[in-house]
């Protein structure tokens, strides 16, 4: 098992054919995330500046947007927590991730100064913000207060 991957007991190098092995070696975290997505059946959508309006502002119901960056340790710790929250809440809350390095216009327009920053939107309107790392229970309490 690659030292960069958490060992959840499910991901094995033998699961990948030789064509994909090179991608696994180059991008272990991305491959692991893809594996988790397929295994769990949860869609935590990565969006960019051009998708923000359609995926967040025009969405009905609750949308949690996580502003993060690959180089941010607390952001990477928050990722698996948001996956668990997404599994638990299902279609009650849509979760989107915006990499601030890849979506600088949206991050700038919302004046993101620290990451991770989570915005909660309801029917396209921003209703709340959380800055910094939060536990799963804190995020669930936050979401429940807006349902």
Please confirm, yes or no, whether 75 is among the known catalytic residues: yes
Helix (H, G, I), strand (E, B) or coil at 125: strand
Angle between helices 18-26 and 28-40 (to 10 degrees): 110
Helix (H, G, I), strand (E, B) or coil at 88: helix
Task: Name the active-site residue from 56, 62, 64, 75.
Answer: 75
Task: Name the active-site residue from 11, 65, 72, 95.
Answer: 72
Sign of CA dihedral 107, 113, 118, 123: negative
Please confirm, yes or no, whether 72 is among the known catalytic residues: yes
CA distance 81 to 139: 9
Active site residues: 72, 75
């Amino acid at each position: 098992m690659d030292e960069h991957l958490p060992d959840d007991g499910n991901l094995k190098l033998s699961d990948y054919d030789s064509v994909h092995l090179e991608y696994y070696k180059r991008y272990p975290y991305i491959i692991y995330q893809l594996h988790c997505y397929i295994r769990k059946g949860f869609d935590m959508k990565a969006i960019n500046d051009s998708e923000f309006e359609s995926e967040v502002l025009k969405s009905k119901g609750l949308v949690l947007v996580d502003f993060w960056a690959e180089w941010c340790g607390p952001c990477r710790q928050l990722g698996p927590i948001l996956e668990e929250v997404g599994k638990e809440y299902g279609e009650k809350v849509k979760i989107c991730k915006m990499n601030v390095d890849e979506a600088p216009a949206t991050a700038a327009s919302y004046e993101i100064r620290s990451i991770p920053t989570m915005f909660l939107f309801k029917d396209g309107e921003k209703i709340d913000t959380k800055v910094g790392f939060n536990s799963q229970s804190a995020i669930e309490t936050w979401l429940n207060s807006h349902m």
